[in-house]
Every structure is written in C-alpha cells, then in structure tokens.
Amino acid sequence: MQEQRQAHVPVMLDTVLEGLAVRADGFYVDGTFGRGGHSRALLDRLGPDGRLLAMDRDPEAAEAASSFLGDPRFAFESAPFSSMAEVLRQRYPDRRPDGVFLDLGVSSPQLDDAARGFSFQHDGPLDMRMDPSSGESAADWLARAEEKEIADVIYQYGEERFSRRIARAIVRARAEGPITRTARLADLVRGAVPRREPGKHPATRTFQALRIFVNAELRELETWLETIPEVLPSGARLVVIAFHSLEDRMVKRAFRGDRDDAPRIPRGLPVMPEVEAPPLRPLGKPVRADAGEQQRNPRARSAVLRVAERN
C-alpha cells in the first residue's frame, strides 16, 4: 500500500495577507516559497501591475515553483532568504518591496519525504539538509563531532535537558557502526531519555536541533534581520511565522528595535541625546493559530506570527 503524504497547508494564511496589507499593484517577496501555498494566495490578491518574488534554497521548492513561471507577475530565485537584500538589489535596482514574508521551519512534504531525513517518523538517510547538494549532512557531522559538541548543539538548539545523555549514547553507538538512518538515531534518543513529555516523541527536540544546526538556520535568520531593513521603503511590512522559541525571540528583538550597541543614558541627565530610531517597529501583538486551525493543521500549533513596519 502506497504511503499517503500530507499536502502542505499554509499556516495562518488570512493573517499573513492581512499583516502584509496587500495592494493590487504592490511588490512582495515570499522568502520561503516551500510548495507555494502563501505565494499562490498572494498572487490571487495582486492585479496586473503587482509583482511577487519567491525564494527558496530547496531544489524541490524550485521544481514546485516552475508551475508558477507562466505568470508574468511571478519570479523565483533559488537562494536562501538570508541573501534577500542582495537579490533585491541585483534583480530590482529601481523597485523596493512593499512587503516581505517568511514562514520558518520545515514544510509537510519535506517531513513526509523519508529521503530528506528530517523526520523520526519515517526511516530514511540521516541527511536533514534543506539543499542536499550543499554542506554537510547530519550523519556526516555526527560521525566526526566530539561528544561535548553534540551535547551543546542538542541543548542550545533543541533546548533538550537530556542532551548529555543523548550525546553519550550517540558516541557509544557510532563506535559500533556509523549512524546513517533516522530510525536508528530516533531509537538511540528514545533509549537515552529517561522521562518523556506527554504527547511528544522523545526524539523531537534532538531532530529539531540537528536540523537547525545543519542548515545554520539561526545564522540565516540573523543575517536576514540585519540586512532586510536596508532595502525596504518606509511603511513596508514584514510578516514572520516562527515555530521555535529561539527564532521567535530573535524576531521579537529585531522588530522591537532592541540593539546591543544602543547608548545607555546616564540617570539624571538633563538633556536627552538624540538616539537614532530603530529601523523596524512592531504592529500589534504576536498571533497564534486559533483552535480550529490547530486541529486541522497540527503544524500550526507552535506557530507564532509577528508583523513589523519599516520606519
């Protein structure tokens, strides 16, 4: 019997469109095209003069985007969203976007494809790369990394309190043979975790941590947050959906304009010095999917959507 794969359902679609304040003649960027759910809805809102640039580093996303290329309003760039500012400068030197959108994390087709190695629910090669043609796979990294390094990655990116136990189990197991399959890694983690969170597979945090590390996802997001304001006009909207607390924290800080290098004002100073306004300002409160959407689409349960505007 052929395995049934879940179609990718765009998360909080109406809220994304509302946050972007889509205009029929506007120019928008979908930095995480995936399988095109949000892009398709954006194109439905655009008129003949509207434009949409989609980006993704996943080769399968590029393949999915080929069905959109007959629309003259649509363009696709095979690149990570961290390079968005440079792509915009090169492709659109005379036009700046009215809105930019990111849906961080992994799509359902990526999780369901055992060959990609993202999921502990499907046995396959332990790869986890968004772009399988670039960089080091999770299996190759686990084969060479020191125990402390493995523990640190699982703890920092997965917030897994049993990271040392898991790292120890991985190092012991690889002495008997390389860990090249997702099922074997999931079994190792299951055996190393003494207590389980209700309703959550014990390997969830470890797989999440390795995926984030292998794809340098936090560095990608940091680069994007630092560079994207440079190419946005005043009033442009940014909408980001995060699925991980570390990612959401970074987005929250950037949208609030938190800066480590901001001058500290001495107490009792009679004249306030001029401080440059932050490039972004948050609009409204963070939004979560309602109960109905969470029931229909389990991926939406951990999603947090934030909206900001360019000052």
Per the CB < 8 A criterion, the answer to whether 303 and 251 are in contact is no
- Cross-strand bridge partners of residue 283: none
Kindly list the distances between the CA atom of residue 50 and the CA atoms of 22, 67, 76, 261, in Å, as whole numbers in the listed order.
Answer: 10, 18, 15, 38
Residue written as token pair 């969170």: 197
Tell me if 81 is assigned to a ligand binding site: yes
Tell me how far apart the alpha carbons of residues 158 and 209 are, in angstroms, rounded to a whole number: 4
Tell me if 36 is assigned to a ligand binding site: yes
Angle between helices 182-192 and 204-214 (to 10 degrees): 130
Per the CB < 8 A criterion, the answer to whether 12 and 300 are in contact is yes
Tell me if 261 is assigned to a ligand binding site: no
Contacts of residue 169, Cβ cutoff 8 Å, sequence gap at least 6: 188, 189, 191, 192
Tell me how far apart the alpha carbons of residues 269 and 156 are, in angstroms, rounded to a whole number: 40
DSSP state of 306: E
Tell me if 257 is assigned to a ligand binding site: no
Tell me if 27 is assigned to a ligand binding site: no
Tell me if 56 is assigned to a ligand binding site: yes
Per the CB < 8 A criterion, the answer to whether 11 and 303 are in contact is yes
Per the CB < 8 A criterion, the answer to whether 35 and 63 are in contact is no
Tell me if 295 is assigned to a ligand binding site: no
Question: Which of 162-181 are b and which e, b meaning 16 or more Cβ less than 10 Å from the residue's Cβ?
Answer: bbbbbbebbbebbeeeebbb
DSSP state of 92: -
Bind-site residues for S-adenosyl-L-methionine: 36-38, 56, 81, 103, 110
Bind-site residues: 36-38, 56, 81, 103, 110
